[in-house]
Chain A
Amino acid sequence: MITLALDIITTAAILFIVAAGLLIVFGVMKIVNFAHASFITVGAYAALVTSRFGLPPAWAPFAAFLAGGLIGAATERLVVRRLYRRPLDAILATWGLGIVIGQLVTLAFGREVQFVPAPISGTLAAFGVDYSLYRLLLVPTALVIAGLFAGLLNGTRLGLSTRAVIMNENLAQGLGIDSARVRLITFGTGCGLAAVAGALITPLASVDPNMGLAWLIGAFMLVMVSGGSLLTLGLSCFVLGGLQVLASTFISPILGGLTIAVLAAVALRLRPQGFARA
């Protein structure tokens, strides 16, 4: 029972970490970054490289953020920038970018599955059960990411500009906000966060060039359901992630794997605008 509760909480945290970067890009730019999966992969390989060089594992998320952020900013400059008026094409172009990044990773690191050792191993005895310490650590990590994100958006000048662009881009431009710069930073941050997610989940899973793909659809559906708000994203991660854990535990893991996608699709049919202002 307690294991189940901890499973639900940690699953929600993992889903939140994975979806946060996608949410930032979708919230500000109204486009869906299908290259998100590849940035998760990039982050995972950044963690792999960090551990190969014998650097402390705590560096991995930062290295990942740097790698993901830089590549993300470069792709925004080269590709995404031209597609803001064609949102469906932006999905396709970012999917294509994903293919390109995935193949580059394959060329550089090979196709085989690799492993990154967990920075913290062992279990924590809590409420009478032993639970993976690393998984538990991801809960505060998710809260830190959410807090940083909210603080950045609400407490800084860049955040103010970003919120202005979200609400009314034309007006923001008219008031002298450089919306191109806001978008560049947003896309870079979103990709950086995706990479951080990749680095954080690698100790739980293996690393291979297609590892991000498995996460993409779930994250995408969660962002759609959340309607672009941080709070509802947390909520939908908790509700849908919880149902996923329950379905996997009590019915079958395969059904559990479908829970998020199917329930989110039905939820969107009933409330097409998402649950941001529910």
Chain B
Amino acid sequence: MPDLATVHDVAAPTSSSGSPRPLLRVAIAGLVAAAVIVVGPWVLDTYTVNILVRAFFVAIAALTVDVLWGVSGTLTFGQSAFFGIGGYALAIVFNQFGFGPGQAILALGAAVGATVVVAGLVGWLSFYPGSTALYASVISLVLPIVLVQILYSGGTFTGSSSGLVGFESFDLTLESWFRLSGLAVIATLVATSIALRSDAGRVLGAMRDNDERCTYLGIDTARVRIGLLVIAAVIAALAGFGYVGFGAVAAPENAGFVFGTQLVVMVALGGRGSLIGAVIGAVVIEVASAYLSSSLPFVWELIVGVAFVAVIVVLPGGLLGGLRDLGRAVRRRAAAAPAPVILRTSEQPDAAPERNAIVVEVAGLSKHFGSLSVLSKISFTARQGELVSLVGPNGAGKTTLIRCLADGRERSEGSVRIAGHSIGRLSADRIVGLGLGRKFQAASVFETLSVADCLRVARVRSERPSFFGTSPVLTLPAAARAVVESSGLVERLGDEAQFLSHGLKQALELAMVLALEPKVLLLDEPTAGLTHAERQRFAEILTGLVARERLCVLIIEHDLDFVRLISSRIIVLHQGRIALDGSVADVVNAPLVREIYTGRPASDACGVTP
């Protein structure tokens, strides 16, 4: 199969920006919007222009909330704090040292520097292997509260509860501020949409869908999230810098938790994840608040509150998402045809048929939860080209063993070496780098990504993705490509993974793991729920991988017939220990195995599984 199409015989566009049309659309929309901004001040009255300038700066902050929450899945109430840091950096510098070009540069440097430090710290606190989305939200809540308390206690330096006023700021006309802020919104919006549509931007959506799968594809999600937070924080700080520079007033409310939640409200109403929705939501709410809060002070906030609750409950995509669904229903037009995918096979480093180095070495591995011992003194080795089945009754510790091999922080004692390297206390994504691939028991894919995109995310570790363009080429190693083609996934490359059947999802996850080009493959009951025919095909794929690619496969399996068919060796786990380790014939006929599985003669065999 690998020779159907190699790198040389597929014609592919050479430019990195493979799909020019969406990019063109973004560019045209951006230019039109920019033209509107330039004309704006001549048509609008001063009051409106004034409000819009503020609204534009707030919209930039809302945009960062949308990227963090709508795109990468971290609900944050803390972007207001970075907005405030940017604003206060300007206010404090101008207040202390007066206004001037040098001071402006100092203020800008202080805004960016302080934000990078704080955001890095907050990111380190919020994101670590195994952190939860709720915890990150908690930290994002604490940040603005702490900041506002610090501002309150800063005396005349920070202006305490009344904020800083009466300092000299940039001397620009209102029209210039309008154009500056408006163009800043458009530039941020265009740059963000291009970056998020790029091959690298897709990883954010994958993290939102399934953080664990990303980790087991070798992506350090904590680092990606921290990096994203720092970028989003700096942009929010620059927005706050502009906001305070324009108004020449820095108030604690601009940094507070309530403003942080207002940003979330704007994004939710506009349409989370859509970017433009965040900008529209922010501008509409800011402008409407300015006009209505004087005539209908409390009723207006009541309306916003009711609308917010209604949108969260019945229209999670926000107004923009709702309009899009409506438009689709009215026009009855099928979703735009997915971009064509060009499959390529990556070149294999070598194809030596007789590789049989030891790639898994487990010595004295134990795992206990408190006083409960789940695994004790497990030791075994496995070579390339071996297919080792782990069998044993439920509760024997099979899945725990897999977990201890795939994540360095899981085991309590003992050592594990993968492809000659000790895994130490490495996190899961680093162990993937040593050459280990893990397929979960329940198919774990990226539900809202297309099949091709799922596979592309799996290749992020080996091919540095572009931050600007999207490549139509999907390069897969021969083994992954074989799975994609033989399972029929090749027909469905443009479909979202959530629409696949159970069997195809399992095949997709296997192809994603194989796309990592692992030396060791861990499979946890991969055939559960598959039909007989699918199971048969799976057995062929597995034995092919072992024979041709010289993979070392460790597989958990309950079906002894299937085990007999595929295994080159069987390890029997019983009550957390290795009861038997030997060839298929040795193990299947051993009296101990029958004892464990039927529970007949021995009284202590409690877990009985077919």
Contact = CB atoms under 8 A, between A and B. Distances in A.
B132 A272 contact: yes
B228 interface: no
Given A88-B75, A258-B145, A269 B125 contact: yes
A96 B315 CA distance: 14
Given A96-B308, A103-B302, A272-B132, A91 B142 contact: no
Contacts of B125: 265-266, 269
Nearest to A101: B305
Interface residues of B, number: 38
Contacts of B133: 88
A96 B153 contact: no
A257 B312 contact: no
Contact of A99 (B137, B139, B153, B301): B301
B264 A104 contact: no
A54 to B, nearest CB: 28
Secondary structure type dominating chain A contacts:
helix
A262 B142 CA distance: 7
A252 B138 CA distance: 24
A221 interface: yes
Interface residues of A, number: 40
Contacts of A252: 153
B583 interface: no
B437 to A, nearest CB: 27
B305 A272 contact: no
B298 A103 contact: yes
B309 interface: yes
A261 B145 contact: yes
Residue among B128, B131, B139, B313 facing the most chain A CB atoms (10 A cut-off)? B313
A79 interface: yes
A100 B303 CA distance: 8
A49 to B, nearest CB: 19
Contacts of A255: 149, 153
A82 B315 CA distance: 12
Interface in B34-73: none
B467 interface: no
A39 B509 CA distance: 47
Contacts of A265: 125, 138-139, 142
A87 B134 contact: yes
Contacts of B152: 254
Interface string B114-152: 000000000001001011111101110110011001001
Nearest to A257: B149
Interface string B316-327: 100000000000
Given A224-B138, A265-B138, A96 B299 contact: no
B309 A107 contact: no
16 contacts: A88-B75, A91-B75, A96-B305, A97-B305, A100-B309, A102-B305, A103-B305, A107-B298, A213-B258, A217-B257, A254-B149, A255-B149, A258-B146, A265-B138, A265-B142, A269-B125
Interface of B: 75, 125, 128, 130-135, 137-139, 141-142, 145-146, 149, 152-153, 257-258, 261, 264-265, 268, 298-299, 301-302, 304-306, 308-309, 312-314, 316
